[in-house]
Structure 1
């Protein structure tokens, strides 16, 4: 029962925290600048928690997809993207904690981006692997009829909206919630997930 509850918690909390981060990010930018400050830290901590909660979600999705080679590789790619995103958010949190103002933050980010490979691996290509893995594993589940098509469509659309721009994070989070929250109810009851 506790295992089912913890799995269902991840399926609910991960997309919900993406939504929370997106909303806080919008509020933080109402004055024309984002960070440093309470909103910056709170939002980034919410997103960090969301990313960490996606780890058990991905592992359970692999199980539901049959644990085959394709599912394993897809989830491995998604987890690599998750790791890159975690590093990015951790850097953002550290800079937000150390910076005295927005100009200080800009200078620190400029120094970070100059580290060889950091821009590509942590800020550009790496995080895309998270979205790609999430979309592909849900497509696989839909094709195998392991989940209803509308769950997969919602999650895939959310995964495609996420990298389109940070201002769309609340929309992406709601789409992810629509596909993952009903999934969580079945996981908590220990039922097989089928269309």
Structure 2
């Protein structure tokens, strides 16, 4: 039977692996197209699946309150936006012979009204906002350490400074999730919510 804690391990690991592959892909001065570009994006998309499972578990552990539901919905909506963005990246890699071709493909896609806002500029922010909200609720309920939201915030901010910090951010996220990896820390069945941590 799948451990309910497993997504809290595999989601950060996939994120970190994507970050490492991305760095390796850029060692020649250009990222994509090619094997590294494709592999990194596929790893990240797998990681999004584990994040979705982790979000659902955190939502349940937080009692499915109004705040928890808002965080969960934001996180899933953001995941969909990021997933579409990475899907576009994969298509660009398959259709293009070089980086110049990819950039031209991206320009055409992002010129479509609403695409940039939904899948690049604003939509993906919901993924991080939901993640931070759910971890904060668990911190309030003493399911994770009080400083866990600070680590998650750092995981969000670091790639904005430099995307080469993605592996470091993933490591911080893994530390934030560490209490949930202990045996019994996550309910084996999440079909019914636990007692709400915050009223609402």
TM-score if structure 2 supplies the norm length? 0.87
Distance 2:103 2:112 in 1: 15
Tell which deviates more after alignment, 173-182 or 37-46: 173-182
Per the alignment, do residues 15 and 93 of structure 1 end up closer, same or farther by CA in structure 2, a change over 3 Å counting?
same
* Alignment partners' CA distance in 2, 1:107 and 1:187: 50
Shift, 1:70, TM fit: 1.0
Q: Where do 1:1-195 residues align within 5 Å?
A: 2-3=1-2, 5=3, 7-186=4-183, 190=187
Gaps (5+ residues) in structure 1?
none
TM-score by length of 1: 0.89
Q: CA deviation at 1:174?
A: 0.7
Q: Bigger CA drift: 146-155 or 134-143?
A: 146-155
In structure 2, distance between residues paired with 1:79 and 1:101: 33
**Structure 1 contact 159–176 (Cα < 8 Å) conserved:** no
Secondary structure of 2:123's aligned partner: helix
Following TM superposition, by how much is the alpha carbon of 1:187 offset from its aligned partner in structure 2, in angstroms? 5.1
Q: Is the 8 A contact 1:155 1:178 kept in 2?
A: no
What is the distance in 2 between the residues matched to 1:186 and 1:159? Answer: 27
Aligned Cα root-mean-square deviation (Å):
2.0
Unmatched 5+ stretches in structure 2: 189-193
Distance 1:94 1:118, change over 3 A: same
Contact 1:8–1:184 under 8 Å retained in 2: yes
* CA distance in structure 1 between the partners assigned to 2:183 and 2:124 by the alignment: 29
Q: Structure 1's 188 and 94: CA in aligned 2 closer, same or farther, altered over 3 A?
A: farther
Residue 59 of structure 1 deviates from its aligned partner by 0.5
Rounded to whole Å, the distance in 2 between the matches of 1:132 and 1:162 is 15
Aligned length: 190
